[in-house]
Amino acid sequence: MTDSYDVVVVGCGGAGAATTWWLARSGFRVLAIDRFEAHHVRGSSHGRERIVRLAYGDPVYVALAQESLRMWHELDAAIDAPLVRTVGGVDTGFADELEQVARGCESAGVPYDWLNPDEARRTFPGLRFEGRALLQRDAGCVDAHAALDTFERSAVANGAVIHRSETVTRIEEQAAGVDVTTDRATYRGDAVVVTTGAWAASTLAGLAPLPPISVTREQVAFFRPKRDATFPTFIDRRETSYYGLPTPTGLLKVGEHYTGPVVDADTYSADLEPRTWQRLLAWVRDNVPGVEPNPVDHNTCLYASGPDEDFVVDRRGRVTVGVGLGGHGFKFLPLLGRRLAEIATGTPWADNPFRFARGPRLAGRSLHK
């Protein structure tokens, strides 16, 4: 046995880094362990760009997004280079989903505007609009890479220990603590937080009543804007849904939402899948006149999703679980990190909507991004 800690965090991607940050700043002795190096590209948190937005169809997510955005802005106020850029967000596509998003905004007093196609084109000439668009002006982009660095730097400054390129092979509850065994050593924690994303099912086998987590491989493309074109974040809600956002390096990232194949996180290939790739390029040609049509870059990333795109945040014994963040979890990281830290150290989340056993939150489809 080597060192002991108040909390051992297993998996230090987005959720693990945010949890480690909150634990350390709250004065707990914390060790975070990740099997890969910082900013590795095998999971779900790499790259520089993620949408932050308040406009969800589900009032629960609207309220959580509001609290999360406040926390991002507080974090920004404490550092030199802001993580969040506010550019506005537009939703287009299925009328019933747009109505649902409007109702979600109204539930929490989030302001929004309806733009008819002419108004939308005048406001965002880089995009093509057929029907009306819902504009929510607080939406923006968070620099994901810088956010992870910020969580980790702050955690380490507050005494956290972070081990990388070390794989957790067993988590065992004992009467007086939890033993976390890796390919290097065994550590003891009073509690453990498991934030292993696409590896949740294997790391939590036998430890928690996890709902099914599906792992899909999604691919995104980056385009160079034509001169003077600026973009909001956008989501086009259709049979095949698309989203996009401006990146910190001046490009436009565009992806399809949930069209990638189910994969095994240990063995999947990062090669482009030609059919969906060509469809994505065709959609951009038809709908985004403000960019040069040939992509300048691409990458792949894993969605690790619980049922109905809802997160899984709960505790069994000494094991707290924060997984299933899917394709929309990044914007909530400061808040989820805080809640996971609190649950692990004895403060339950009142009205937690993401328990192991829960039903679907909304009837019908409501795309979360």
Ligand X SMILES: Cc1cc2nc3c(=O)[nH]c(=O)nc-3n(C[C@H](O)[C@H](O)[C@H](O)COP(=O)(O)OP(=O)(O)OC[C@H]3O[C@@H](n4cnc5c(N)ncnc54)[C@H](O)[C@@H]3O)c2cc1C
Chain residues binding ligand X by CB under 6 A are 10-16, 33-36, 43-45, 50-51, 167-168, 195-199, 203, 218, 220, 255, 301-303, 325-331
| Pick 190 or 218: Cβ nearer ligand X | 218
Query: How far apart are CB 140 and ligand X at their closest, in Å?
Result: 11
62-69 CB contacts, 8 Å cutoff, 24+ apart: 62/104, 62/105, 62/107, 62/108, 62/110, 63/107, 63/108, 64/332, 64/335, 65/331, 65/332, 66/108, 66/110, 67/335, 68/331, 68/332, 68/333, 68/334, 68/335, 68/336, 69/138, 69/331
| Pick 122 or 164: Cβ nearer ligand X | 164
State which residue has the least CB distance to ligand X. Answer: 13
Query: How far apart are CB 227 and ligand X at their closest, in Å?
Result: 26
In the block, residue with structure tokens 């099997």 = 35
| Pick 119 or 149: Cβ nearer ligand X | 149
| Angle between helix 144-157 and helix 333-344 axes, rounded to 10 deg | 30
| Pick 10 or 319: Cβ nearer ligand X | 10
| Pick 331 or 338: Cβ nearer ligand X | 331
| Pick 119 or 322: Cβ nearer ligand X | 322
**DSSP string for 108-177:** TT---EEE-HHHHHHH-TTS--SS-EEEETT-EEEEHHHHHHHHHHHHHHTT-EEE-S--EEEEEEETTE
| Pick 95 or 270: Cβ nearer ligand X | 270
The answer to whether 139 and 238 are in contact (CB under 8 A) is no
| Pick 16 or 295: Cβ nearer ligand X | 16
Sheet holding 84-86, edge to edge: 49-52, 140-143, 84-86
Sequence letter at residue 288: V
Q: Which residues contact 139 (CB under 8 A, 6 or more apart)?
A: 51, 52, 53, 54, 55, 86, 87, 88, 89, 232, 233
Query: How far apart are CB 306 and ligand X at their closest, in Å?
Result: 11
Sequence letter at residue 105: C
Q: How far is CA 293 from CA 143, 238, 282, 310, 364, in A?
A: 24, 21, 9, 34, 34
Supply 53's token pair: 């937005």
Query: How far apart are CB 125 and ligand X at their closest, in Å?
Result: 23
Residue 286 DSSP SS3 = helix
| Pick 126 or 329: Cβ nearer ligand X | 329
- Cα–Cα distance between 354 and 360 in angstroms, integer? 10
Q: Residue 212 has what DSSP assignment?
A: P
Query: How far apart are CB 122 and ligand X at their closest, in Å?
Result: 26
The answer to whether 77 and 69 are in contact (CB under 8 A) is no
Q: How many residues does the chain have?
A: 369
Query: How far apart are CB 16 and ligand X at their closest, in Å?
Result: 6
Query: How far apart are CB 299 and ligand X at their closest, in Å?
Result: 8
Query: How far apart are CB 272 and ligand X at their closest, in Å?
Result: 13
Query: How far apart are CB 311 and ligand X at their closest, in Å?
Result: 9
| Pick 69 or 229: Cβ nearer ligand X | 69
Query: How far apart are CB 76 and ligand X at their closest, in Å?
Result: 16
